[in-house]
Structure 1
Amino acid sequence: MTKNKLHAGDTKVWTIGALLKWTQEYFAAKAIDSPRLDAEVLLSHLLGKERIYLYVHFDEPLQENELVQFRGLVKKRAARIPVAYLTGQKEFMGMPFKVSEHVLVPRPETELLVEAAIERLPGDSEAVFADIGTGSGAIAVSLVKLRKNLRGVAVDISAEALAMAQKNAVLLKVADSLEFLQGDLLEPLQKEENKGRLAAIISNPPYIPLADMPALAPEVRAYEPRRALTDDADGLNFYRRLLADSKELLTENGFFACEIGINQASDVKALAQKNTWGKVEVLRDLAGIERVVILWKRK
């Protein structure tokens, strides 16, 4: 750790390079997983610049008001508040999504679920999907942004999450392709006119077993919305409900695709068999972990 401290009344002239070095060392001492990256993201956010700007202007001094604001961000990050909540934004599928403490921070592994859905959804211009537990809208918004012919229904039980998803749809200019419904899982869709309507039902439900919650990173355990993380049971309750009720809403060639937790693939496949689903696919993420399960309505 450098001897200079980043505190109010500090008379040291802090350049961008010196500030990044100090913050990296400070975060590392606090056991932050990605100290340099976090320092760069927070400073570029504060300055309203791309990260490359920090390297090009390495010797540029910061103004006192900028240092005051940066001190506040560093303090919050050291308390393990997620960077995405401090910046209000997280990139997903190459697009910027607004986030808040009311929604999960979109994860890279969920991009596999989006990619799998894109590859399997029909090219029909009338194809409609549902995103259950939409949160920030990352899945639903990405799908209609990347496949112009699709229309989607985004469902969430949280009014705050649904408002965030709607905001992202507007910001990414796809609001006309999405409908937003508040309710518990499939409940808002269980109407006669929706039977056999959906080409796909996609979900990243709360799947962390209650017993695993204490081992989560402080950023996740203390700050992300609990009801979006766990079912307060074995982590399978939402799959039980979704797999029992999804088929009647799907077209004959439709599918259900979901993200799963580590070692949950066999349990989800067993639930699929119990509910007489057809073909089953299991996809692995870049780390080799079984991460996505796709269940087809037909054999």
Structure 2
Amino acid sequence: MTEPNTLLYYLKRSTEFLEKKGIPNPRIDAEWLLSDLLNLPRIKLYSQFEMPLSPKEIETYRERIVERSKKKPVAYITGKKGFHKYDFYVNKHTLIPRPETEELVDWFYKDSKNIFSEIQNPKILDLCTGSGCIAVSLSRLIPQAEIWATDISNDALEVAKTNDEKVIPHGTRQIHFLESDLFKNISPDLKFHAIVSNPPYIPSEEKKDIMEDVLNFEPHLALFVDDFKIFHSHLLQGALSHLVIGGILALETHPDFAEWIMEEGKKIGYSEGEIKNDSSHKQRFVVLKK
């Protein structure tokens, strides 16, 4: 008997295969991989169940499903991840953008009119930019701003540049990209009205608790810190010296360390601060003012 070649047949088979391999959301992942392959919105698959797949599409889909069965994240298989209004290009050199970081961008943008109420062309730094999701999103949301983006990894910066130049429609201003270990290569004279950052913040000792999808595929340089307090002390001090008076530092961080960051920040010279919860009610964001 000839094997069916319909979309629904391969979707069902792929879901069953991923389920046997212990993938947490097999049907959703199977749908994402297929919708991306066919360049169809995922919801449109439901009206195309009887659509025949070509031999090439079947072969490519099988390859993608096998990759996912080995715990490779869907975003690394498709090469993109939705963030804010756009699909961002991602690869093994960058973290996959998270909903929490999207919340940080949303909050910062909504508050930007208050933050920059008397500043015509604010300077904003995205420290540890990775894929550039913060910098590129803010450059489109706040087109009058001058955006800088830094990362210790040149490979990550190349991804961020690709997102700025090719993937995301151009804003009115170019982003300034700079390879730098925190503030090491940033001129002491360069000051910012705001520094926004999703730096590495998972203590190395927590690796044992991290999902295989993350631990085996995402860059450890962007995820883990050997000593949280030493790393963030350098970050807080560097940010303080590169902020104008009244400037703010907005950090995504580990919920267990939010209170410490607040206390440490005030200890070294920030005038005030606030801890903000994410949508899961965890203390995920710290905002400090110079």
Give the TM-score, by structure 1 length: 0.90
Distance 2:215 2:69 in 1: 15
Is the counterpart of residue 167 in structure 1 residue 162 in structure 2?
yes
Q: 1:232-252 CA distances to partner (integer Å, 9 max, x unpaired)?
A: x24333311111121121121
Q: Please name the residue that 2:243 is paired with.
A: 250
Specify every segment of 5 or more residues in structure 2 that has no aligned partner in the other structure, as ranges: none
Q: How many aligned positions are there?
A: 284
Partner of residue 216 from structure 1, selected from 210, 215, 235: 210
Distance 2:183 2:147 in 1: 14
Partner of residue 203 from structure 1, selected from 184, 188, 197: 197
Q: 1:211-236 CA distances to partner (integer Å, 9 max, x unpaired)?
A: 111211111000000100111x2433
Is the counterpart of residue 74 in structure 1 residue 65 in structure 2?
yes
Partner of residue 230 from structure 1, selected from 217, 224, 228: 224
1:105-144 correspondence to structure 2 within 5 Å: 105-118=96-109, 119-120=111-112, 121-123=115-117, 124-144=119-139
Partner of residue 155 from structure 1, selected from 147, 150, 157: 150
Which letter maps to 2:253? I
Q: 1:83-142 CA distances to partner (integer Å, 9 max, x unpaired)?
A: 000000000012110000000000011112112322144153310110111000000001
Q: Please name the residue that 1:189 is paired with.
A: 186
1:26-41 correspondence to structure 2 within 5 Å: 26-41=17-32
1:169 CA drift (Å): 0.7
Q: Please name the residue that 1:4 is paired with.
A: none
1:277 CA drift (Å): 1.2
**Secondary structure of 2:143 counterpart:** coil
Is the counterpart of residue 21 in structure 1 residue 7 in structure 2?
no
Root-mean-square deviation (CA), in Å? 1.6
Distance 2:209 2:241 in 1: 38
CA distance 1:16–1:237, shift in 2 (3 Å): farther
1:174 CA drift (Å): 3.0
1:276 CA drift (Å): 2.1
Partner of residue 253 from structure 2, selected from 238, 242, 260: 260
Which piece of structure 1 moves more, 136-145 or 18-27? 18-27
Distance 2:255 2:282 in 1: 7
**Secondary structure of 1:109 counterpart:** helix
CA distance 1:104–1:175, shift in 2 (3 Å): farther
Distance 1:36 1:128 in 2: 44
Which letter maps to 1:189? I
**Secondary structure of 1:101 counterpart:** coil
Q: Please name the residue that 1:6 is paired with.
A: none
Distance 2:282 2:6 in 1: 42
Q: Residues 201 and 257 of structure 1 are in contact (CA less than 8 Å); yes or no, is this contact kept in structure 2?
A: yes
Q: Residues 151 and 179 of structure 2 are in contact (CA less than 8 Å); yes or no, is this contact kept in structure 1?
A: yes
Give the TM-score, by structure 2 length: 0.93
**Secondary structure of 2:256 counterpart:** coil
Q: Please name the residue that 2:233 is paired with.
A: 240
**Secondary structure of 1:176 counterpart:** coil
Distance 2:2 2:274 in 1: 61
Which piece of structure 1 moves more, 109-118 or 69-78? 109-118
Which letter maps to 1:260? T
Which letter maps to 2:196? I
CA distance 1:287–1:43, shift in 2 (3 Å): same
**Secondary structure of 1:236 counterpart:** helix
Aligned residues with identical type, % of pairs? 35
Which piece of structure 1 moves more, 274-283 or 160-169? 274-283
Q: Residues 127 and 149 of structure 2 are in contact (CA less than 8 Å); yes or no, is this contact kept in structure 1?
A: yes
